[in-house]
Copies of this chain bind each other. A is one copy, B any other.
Amino acid sequence: MKEDNKAVILLSGGLDSTTCLSIAVKDNSSIYALSFDYGQRHKKELDCAKKVACYYNIEAHRIINLELFAGNALTDGNIAIPDYSSGNTIPSTYVPARNILFLSYALSYAETIVANRIYIGISSVDYSGYPDCRPDFVEAFQKVIDVGTKSGTEGDSIKILTPLLFMSKAETIKTAKASNAPLHLTTSCYHGKEKACGLCDSCVLRLKGFKEAGFIDTIEYE
């Protein structure tokens, strides 16, 4: 039987957040998803998020318009999206404070509807090197919740759950497949076209993950 938990989840419409949702639906009695329209080129992911939310018949799915700022490859059409690079630098697709903003919204929403958990499908293994996907970031944000919210200071802190944090992309895909998560409804490509490019960071990590996991990725590639 499911625990009587109410959870907010950040749902991008990608592979990771969809797998995260497949885990969350098992452990929570009601789920409220948030997606963001922040001027990203790959707006296609919002349609994917809607389909995934419908697939799981969750309690609610809200798409928030987020005024963000230009200057990065994911929101500025004048900056090229780089192909995959195995370097250690943070790529130009980094959106300043994106996950911090997303988590802040999720937190505000969770506290408003009296949810006790926030799920975010970040991973620090096969990732693009963004600082806001790492364990010490999650720990620091949890501390903000503990000391900076009403529920936190009243001893009933909302918890951030990151079930994929230490999973490789292949492990994530195996987890998704084991629970029949609808990966065919997801998108990962930064370009956001009808067919995925297969060359950007996000596509390369996805394809590598499917190969290692021994599954076929059924979305279309150029």
Which residues of A line the B interface, CB within 8 A?
64-65, 67-72, 90, 94-101, 104-105, 107-113, 131-132, 134, 136-137, 140-141, 143-144, 146-150, 152-154
Give CA–CA (A94, B153) in the complex, Å.
13
Give CA–CA (A113, B97) in the complex, Å.
13
Are A108 and B96 in contact (CB-based, < 8 A)? yes
Knowing A112-B71, A134-B147 are in contact, say whether A101-B105 is a contact too (CB < 8 A): yes
Can you show 22 pairs from A to B with CB atoms below 8 A apart?
A: A64-B67, A65-B67, A68-B108, A69-B108, A69-B109, A69-B112, A69-B113, A90-B154, A96-B111, A96-B112, A97-B104, A100-B107, A100-B149, A131-B150, A131-B152, A132-B149, A134-B147, A137-B148, A140-B143, A140-B144, A141-B144, A143-B143
Q: Which residues of B contact A104 (CB under 8 A)?
A: 97, 100-101, 104
Q: How far is the CB of A79 from chain B (nearest CB, A)?
A: 12
Residue among A69, A100, A136, A146 facing the most chain B CB atoms (10 A cut-off): A100
Which residue of chain B has the shortest Cβ distance to A146 in the bound complex?
A: B140
Which residue of chain B has the shortest Cβ distance to A98 in the bound complex?
A: B108
Are A112 and B149 in contact (CB-based, < 8 A)? no
Q: Which residues of B contact A153 (CB under 8 A)?
A: 90, 131
Give CA–CA (A66, B128) in the complex, Å.
28
Which residue of chain B has the shortest Cβ distance to A68 in the bound complex?
A: B108
Which residue of chain B has the shortest Cβ distance to A102 in the bound complex?
A: B104
Q: How far is the CB of A7 from chain B (nearest CB, A)?
A: 16
Are B70 and A112 in contact (CB-based, < 8 A)? yes
Q: A90-B154, A131-B150, A131-B153 are in contact. List 20 more A-B contacts (CB 8 A).
A: A64-B67, A68-B108, A69-B112, A69-B113, A71-B113, A90-B153, A96-B111, A96-B150, A97-B107, A100-B104, A100-B107, A131-B147, A131-B148, A132-B148, A136-B147, A137-B144, A137-B148, A140-B143, A140-B146, A144-B144
